[in-house]
Amino acid sequence: MSDETLIRSCAPTMASLKTGNMFNCAFESREQMTDELRRLNQSLGHKGLRILPLRWRDGKALLYLFRPKMLRRDLMNPLAGKILSECGYTCTDANVCLARLIARLRTEPDFPHEIGLFLGYPPADVDGFMHRKEDFKLSGLWKVYDDVEGALRQFARCRHCTEVYLNCLARGFSLDRLAVAR
């Protein structure tokens, strides 16, 4: 996986603007990809970042770069807890919830809608997507059902962040230098 792929897919998480990002990445061998993920975790872990394979399928890995501290905070939101409970999660620990999400991704044919909670989407928007699919007010990085102005600001921050990070990468900045410590 190239540094550019990681930046294009995950710059807002690297900058601590979002809890997490997911992206598909082709791999030649699972062992090679696992070694690459181990290397990334070693180089970015001290910045408060972690990358995990959520699913392996058809020569692609669904990867999740996230900030564990932010995920713990996000999942403590009362509405997030309610959504998780509705989806069969019986946990409050972020690591246990993440393990449950991984199990769902690997065994169920449909993509679990609660995944937005693991990406830092507002719980009200995740709830709206799950219960009022067609009533969204805005579509961007996610479908917005509640705070349009806040979402527009976040979308703009994420787009700008990705542009800045790609420019910095082109000027020779390393991933370690680009990742914000949190």
CA dist., res. 170 & res. 97, Å (int): 37
The pLDDT value recorded for residue 133 is: 82
pLDDT at 90 over 90: no
| 152-173 mean pLDDT | 97
Tens of pLDDT, residue by residue over 107-128, are 988 889 999 999 999 999 999 9
Phi, psi at 150, each rounded to 5°? -65, -40
Contact 180, 15 (CB under 8 A): yes
Band (159; pLDDT cuts 50, 70, 90): very high
Q: Quick check: 23 and 66 in contact, CB under 8 A?
A: no
Residue 139 burial class via C-beta count within 10 angstroms: exposed 0-12, middle 13-18, buried 19 and up? exposed
Q: Give percent above pLDDT 90 in the chain.
A: 90
Q: Quote the pTM value.
A: 0.94
Burial class (CB in 10 A: 0-12, 13-18, 19+), 116: buried
Give the integer Cα–Cα distance in Å for 73 and 27: 32
Q: How many residues does the chain have?
A: 182
**If DSSP codes are grouped into helix, strand and coil, which group holds residue 36?**
helix
Does pLDDT of 182 surpass 90? no
Q: What's the pLDDT at 110?
A: 86
